[in-house]
Amino acid sequence: MQDLSANQPIGIFDSGVGGLTVANAICKLLPHENTIYFGDTIHLPYGDKSSDAVKNYATKITKFLIEKQCKMVVVACNTASAAAFEILKKQFEDKILLVDVIEPMVQYVKKNFSDKKIGVIATKGTIASGVYEKKLAEFGIHDVHSLATPLLVHLIEEGFSRHTGSQLLVHEYLHHPQLRKIAVLVLACTHYPILKNTMEEFYHNEVKVLDSTEITAIEVQQKLAENNLLRTNGEATHRFYVSDYTVAFEQVAQLFYGDKIHLQKQNIWNEG
Ligand code: DGL
């Protein structure tokens, strides 16, 4: 590991606004940490892309965040975590700290819900990878039922999360036979916490709906602490980059960070 210091920022990325749910949880838990967020809006949605394409995007973004002096990169996207985390570890683990969103959730389910019937909803890419089934099976958890729910990302990116159309779609998906009689629903896409209330209402709070935001923030805290890299005082700065500017991104981002958000467009694919 190269020499890293606590004042260096944490890099966080996703295809769009979804990773902001994780970024926000990190900022709440670790208010002194500087962050740099990268939303790869030009390639959104990742869930419909090939695993090779997602690997490529994730690698390039991680390089960009390393150039921006990040001490840690958080892959705040399940699709990218499923497709690219192993490759990112091989390439960059000697330079920076890396955190994904799948491993913390798997550990959390193992610890708290190992005897329950588990439902998993995610993008097509994450579901096709079978990553949750495989990782949970390693701990003897086999009652896992997955469903791809790709249209939710579009509604969220367009700022439609409070629209009745979103509610109808959530109901349609959660009624699917694949999710019948589950006790726990894993939101395996970082966009979905934005619709978590709608899902909890659908289940009348009888199904435990889990999202990876706080669980991942705790993992970030632990990893930084283990490496003496926690920033424990001083005001934090937050920078936001997008590969393509969209008004929708800015509006959804403002829900989390208020008006002070300033988006910088950075198409890292057109450089060099
Ligand atoms: N937020 C993402 C995830 O966790 C990606 C959504 C997408 O771009 O399809 O998978």
pLDDT in tens, 151-210: 999 999 888 888 899 999 999 999 999 999 999 999 999 999 999 999 999 999 999 999
pLDDT band, very low/low/confident/very high, at 272 (cuts 50, 70, 90): very low
Of 104, 70, 72, 106, which is closest to residue 89 (Cα–Cα)?
Answer: 72
Instruction: Return all residues near 147 (Cβ < 8 A) that are at least 6 apart.
Output: 119, 120, 121, 127, 173, 176, 178, 179
Residue where a domain terminates, one of 212, 242, 259: 212
Residue 4 lies in a domain: no
Q: Which pLDDT does position 173 carry in this prediction?
A: 98
Together in a domain, 206 and 108? yes
Cβ < 6 A, ligand 1 pocket: 14-16, 18, 44-47, 77-79, 123, 126, 153, 189-191
Tally of structural domains, the chain: 2
Q: What is the Å distance from ligand 1's center to 234 Cα?
A: 32
Determine, yes or no, domain membership for 2: no
Write out the residue range of the structural domain in which residue 154 sits: 103-212
Give the number of the atom of ligand 1 that is nearest the alpha carbon of residue 48. Answer: 9
The predicted model scores a pTM of 0.97
Note whether residue 168 is domain-resident: yes
Same domain for 204 and 111: yes
Q: Are residues 181 and 224 in the same domain?
A: no
CATH number of the domain at 118, please: 3.40.50.1860
- Can you read off the two tokens belonging to residue 122? 């995610």
- Structure-token match 């086999």, residue found: 142
- Quick one: pLDDT band at residue 267, thresholds 50, 70, 90? confident
Pocket-testing residue among 22, 38, 46, 152, ligand 1, by greatest number of atoms within 8 A of Cβ: 46
- pLDDT band (50, 70, 90) for residue 271: low
Span from the CA of 187 to the centroid of ligand 1 (angstroms)? 11
| Statement: residue 41 has pLDDT above 90 | yes
